[in-house]
Structure 1
Amino acid sequence: MRSTNDPRGRRSRHRRRAALAAVAALAAGSLTACGGSGKPTLNWYVNPDGVDTFQKYAKSCSTDQYDIAVQLLPNGATDQRTQLARRLAAEDSSTDLMNLDPVFVAEFANAGWLQEVEGDLADSITSSVEGDGDYLSGAAETVTWDDKVFAIPLWANTQVLWYRKSLAQAAGLDMTQPVTWDQVIKAAADHDGTVGVQANKYEAYVVWINALVQGAGGDIVSDTEAGRDAKVDIGSDAGRKAAEIIKELADSKAAQPDFTVSNEGTSLGQMFPESGAGEFMVNWTFVYKNYEGQVGSGLTDEQFADLGWARYPATVEGEASKPPIGGIDIGVGAYSEHPDFAMEAARCITSEQAQVDLALDNGLMPSTNAAYDKVSASGDYPADLIELFRTSVDEGGPRPKSAFYAMISGAIQARWHSPTSVEPGSTPKDSATYLEDVLEGKSLL
């Protein structure tokens, strides 16, 4: 999941305004054409990442039988979910195609809001879950629910540890070997550096907490197929270890000034500050292209060459980390008046070439191995970085797959924010009790 207010990356305000204007113009043009020709128009609701590529594929995937119009969703994943859920709960027939954060596929499928993906594509996705198909297993897993497929993976996002090579060298860290959160925080604090995370009260903070918990061998919840009766595990030793790391950073000199409201974009400027040694930063795949695009207009070649990357930090020394998994899946609305056209369009806009274009133009990594191979062969990314992205998706840790995920996320945010108030001895236990009450209907968010 690049995100702005979610696990999908950050755009500048200027680019967002330009995207809004372009989308409005495209949508207006499509609707006018529809009115003049009598062809149906399929509405495609998209998140504001990679909008230029979405525009291109809305045009190229339109046919003699239908047009595709791009409609822009809000920035944040939670706001996107709210808008789509309201439309679908009202059985809105104009919601044909939608970009979905993977954590909302289960909820929408369980509610009957998504059309099932069938045939050869569903077979390919299902076999990929077991590592024997075209898709990355981590991406394929996000679109299955109740042994069926309800969306098509478009891009598969993950987080890695970005860092200044000079900072790691000064701290004596061997970045060819796994590093822990404890090592990263201490290295930054002792050598005039900082640690960049996402700790504002929003979805990406839950992404961090979930990765910490899973890296300690636990889960926020388990047995999620039981719905409201899922087992709440956040109060476990793994939850306490996650809280220890958050508190360690909060109390450290390595915490950035905006720690409690930090997001994917705020820490980008701390990598190459005017003073200081830079940072270690966990963030999504878009980071490489973000910095590469600044060379010559803010960054020097020498600074860019000092950018390093490594696997997501381990929660527990000796235990493999569980990098976050995000991205975007394409769903077809259950109430679309043109379901066959919409499913055909969904296949087109998730094509191998569309995935390659999103990676090369927008820094959003593919969901299929074939597209990954093409991106790697392009030479636009270092080969080891491409393999790090791919491995991190397949070996990463997804957030809980639950029809009640919105409740789970909201309850965790409510009890774990602000990060400066997190206490290992009480926060995990208190949040477990609260989450149980929320799921049982005893408490409201």
Structure 2
Amino acid sequence: MTSRRTRPGRAAAVAVAGVLASTALAACSDSGKPRLNWYVNPDGVPVFEKYAKECSTGEYDLEVQLLPSGATDQRTQLARRLAAEDSSTDLMNLDPVFVAEFANAGWLQEVEGPIADSVQQSVEGEGDYLSGAAETVTWDDKVFAIPLWANTQVLWYRKSLAEAAGLDMTKPVTWDQVIEAAAAEGGTVGVQANKYEAYVVWINALVQGAGGDIVSDTEAGRDAKVDLDSDAGRKAAAIIQKLADSPAAQPDLSVSNEGTSLGQMFPAEGPGEFMVNWTFVYKNYEPGDGKPTTPEQFKDLGWTRYPQTVAGEESKPPVGGIDIGVGAYSEHPDWAMEAAECITSKQAQVDLALDAGLMPSTNSAYDEVAASGNYPKDLIELFRTSVDEGGPRPKSAFYAMISGAIQARWHSPTSVDPDSTPEKSGKYLQDVLEGKSLL
């Protein structure tokens, strides 16, 4: 497969891209072949490095470049590069919420052919991709990225803590029950509530679990309908307030992230925690390779579906993961798309699941992971159904504004008030979208 060059004028764009000068990358690798740069997030890097080698060919070398750890910082770096029409941004790992923005801006190559057909079929529930994952890569009825892994959150907990609190974990549990049970037994509840994207993930899941949305009619762009000032918004705020005021809140609640609460599951003293977190948790606690978790502790680890916001109303687990996009200004777009197909193969998805705890985006890869025996089958099915029945964040070309405005008014969690936060944040978000206020 030969590579085609993209539009003229790139030299002029690069000339004004001084912001990228310090990170400019050579066009050729040590072998003398053209180098395709693959910008990756820090999760699963050893697997990425393996596939960078395996997906290199006699015509090009694929090399991994590491992005910052936070989704917002990842978006900022990639957006700056692509806005400057940087030709060295060939492939990139994208948080699903940024696909719409990048596609709308013309920064991504359209995905065509059999993969695009499978994605479109999967959106309707008929293809190999999980429908929740397939939804994340479509924009304006076209496909602009390839799902790699599909992430979701479940409720992880100490079985002994739940038993002591009298919670029947074979049935759906609510946030109220979890907070009250942890507080009654001297345990804690782990969440992500720092001022960053994962806090918006929590807020969005709470709102959707109450039957609402942060925004709707997102196809209208800046004219999307802001729905935060609603009964669902107030119920979400009430749960955050309840945890913040509870003895079950962890001391670092306002700066908590995916990693901070991991150590609270099996502390030196105390009954442990209930924790909402992503799929990597199982492998994180699995004994071996010098990990501090003992086999006895590991037997006490439980999991169930994301808690309900409202009793009797099905929860909406967060949907996340990573999609692979090809930069619109790559000098080798055909090779880059070929490489993207290679690094999103079924085997790559299986390896990410088995080695890094990052779950597949396709049903066929899920079936192989389930057959491997490396995960309990009920956990695998919980992951899969949580993605397909979960709640995505708003698909909007202005998502970065939406997320930033919510973070600005809902943080710190200790200041959230159901009587005022939804109303004030809804007004602020509306003003930001309309250009009346700045983030």
What amino acid sits opposite 2:203 in the alignment? Answer: I
Establish whether residue 174 from structure 1 lines up as the match of residue 172 from structure 2.
no
Alignment-derived partner of residue 225 in structure 2: 231
Equivalent position amino acid for 1:101 in 2: D
**Displacement of 1:31 after TM fit?**
1.9
Separation in 1, partners of 2:287, 2:45: 18
Contact 1:143–1:149 (Cα < 8 Å) also in 2: yes
1:325 matched to 2:319? The reply is: yes
Distance 1:369 1:163 in 2: 27
- Distance (Å, rounded) in 1 between the aligned partners of 2:291 and 2:417: 43
The separation in 1 between residues aligned to 2:26 and 2:297, in whole angstroms, is 43
Give the whole-Å Cα distance in 1 for the aligned partners of 2:140 and 2:290: 51
Distance in 2 separating the partners of 1:83 and 1:294: 36
Provide the residue aligned with 1:408 in structure 2. 402
Match of 2:426 among 432, 436, 442: 432
Percent of matched pairs sharing the same residue:
83
Which amino acid counterpart does residue 362 of structure 2 have in structure 1?
T
CA distance in 1, matches of 2:290, 2:334: 48
Residue 378 of structure 2 is aligned to residue 380 of structure 1:
no
Whole-Å separation in 2 of the counterparts to 1:134 and 1:75: 30
Give the Cα separation in 1 of the matches to 2:179 and 2:152.
Answer: 21
Q: Determine the C-alpha separation between the residues in 1 that align with 2:298 and 2:163.
A: 16
Q: 1:327 to 1:297 in 2, by over 3 A?
A: closer
- Scaled by the length of structure 1, what TM-score is found? 0.92
SS in 2 for 1:442: coil
Find the aligned partners of 2:147 and 2:323 in 1 and give their Cα distance.
4
Q: Which residue identity is paired with 1:438?
A: V
Over aligned residues, Cα RMSD in angstroms? 1.3
Q: Which residue of 1 aligns with 2:199?
A: 205
Asked whether 1:33 is paired with 2:39, we answer no
Deviations 1:173-230 (A, max 9, x none): 1101100000000000001110000000000000000000000000000000000000
User: Which position in structure 1 is the counterpart of 2:271?
Assistant: 277
- Once the two structures are TM-superposed, the CA of residue 324 in structure 1 deviates from its matched residue by 0.3
1:265 aligns with 2:265: no
Structure 2's unaligned 5+ residue stretches are 1-24
Structure 1 distance, partners of 2:294, 2:323, is: 36
Q: Residues of 2 paired with 1:29 and 1:290: CA distance?
A: 37
Report deviation, 1:94: 1.0
Deviations 1:275-294 (A, max 9, x none): 11110000000000000045
- Residue number in structure 2 paired with 1:21: none
Alignment of 1:65 with 2:63, yes or no, is no
Distance in 2 separating the partners of 1:411 and 1:382: 40
Specify the alignment match of 1:307 in structure 2: 301
User: Partners of 1:294 and 1:424 in 2: how far apart?
Assistant: 44
CA contact (8 A) 1:105 1:151 kept: yes
CA contact (8 A) 1:160 1:311 kept: yes
**In structure 1, C-alpha distance between the alignment counterparts of 2:162 and 2:318, rounded to whole Å:** 23
CA contact (8 A) 1:46 1:71 kept: yes
2:429 match: secondary structure:
helix
Match of 2:31, SS state, is helix
Maintained 8 Å contact 2:237/2:421: yes
| Letter in structure 1 aligned against 2:321 | G
Does the 8 Å CA contact 1:194/1:278 hold for their aligned counterparts?
A: yes
Separation in 1 of the partners of 2:82 and 2:195?
A: 26
Corresponding residue of 2:127: 133
Counterpart CA distance in 2 for 1:436 and 1:298 is 47
**What SS is found at the alignment partner of 2:30?**
helix
CA drift of 1:119 comes to: 1.1
Distance of 2:182 and 2:38 partners within structure 1: 44
Paired residue for 2:344?
A: 350
2:334 is paired with a residue whose SS is helix
* Contact 1:295/1:301 (<8 A) preserved: no
Are the aligned partners of 1:30 and 1:68 in contact in 2 as well (CA < 8 Å)?
no
How far, CA to CA, are the matches of 1:393 and 1:212 in structure 2? 16
Q: Is the 8 A contact 2:42 2:68 kept in 1?
A: yes
TM-score, scaled relative to structure 2: 0.93
Q: What is the aligned length?
A: 415
Return the match for 1:249 from 206, 222, 243.
243
* Cα distance, 1:299 vs structure 2: 2.1
What residue number does 1:47 align with?
41
In structure 2, relative to structure 1, the CA distance for the partners of 1:295 and 1:348 (3 Å cut) is closer
2: CA distance between counterparts of 1:47 and 1:410? 20
1:142 and 2:136 matched: yes
Letter in 2 for 1:33: S
Distance in 2 (alpha carbons) for counterparts of 1:146 and 1:372: 28
C-alpha contact (below 8 Å) 1:30/1:69 kept by paired residues: no
Distance in 2 of aligned mates of 1:205 and 1:335 = 33
2:355 is aligned, of 361, 364, 374, to 361
Match of 1:388, as an amino acid? L
Q: 1:300 to 1:188 in 2, by over 3 A?
A: same
1:337 and 2:331 aligned:
yes
Partner of 1:158: 152
Q: Do the aligned partners of residues 331 and 187 (structure 1) sit closer, same or farther apart at CA in structure 2, a change above 3 Å counting?
A: same
TM-fit CA distance, 1:29: 13
| Cα distance in structure 2, aligned partners of 1:253 and 1:158 | 27
1:100-111 correspondence runs (5 A):
100-111=94-105
Task: Give yes or no for contact 2:287–2:298 (8 Å, CA) kept in 1.
Answer: no
Q: Report if aligned partners of 2:37, 2:63 keep a CA contact under 8 Å in 1.
A: yes
8 Å contact kept, 1:213–1:238: yes
Which whole-Å CA distance do the structure 2 matches of 1:297 and 1:234 have between them? 42
Alignment check: 8 A CA contact 2:36 2:336 kept: yes
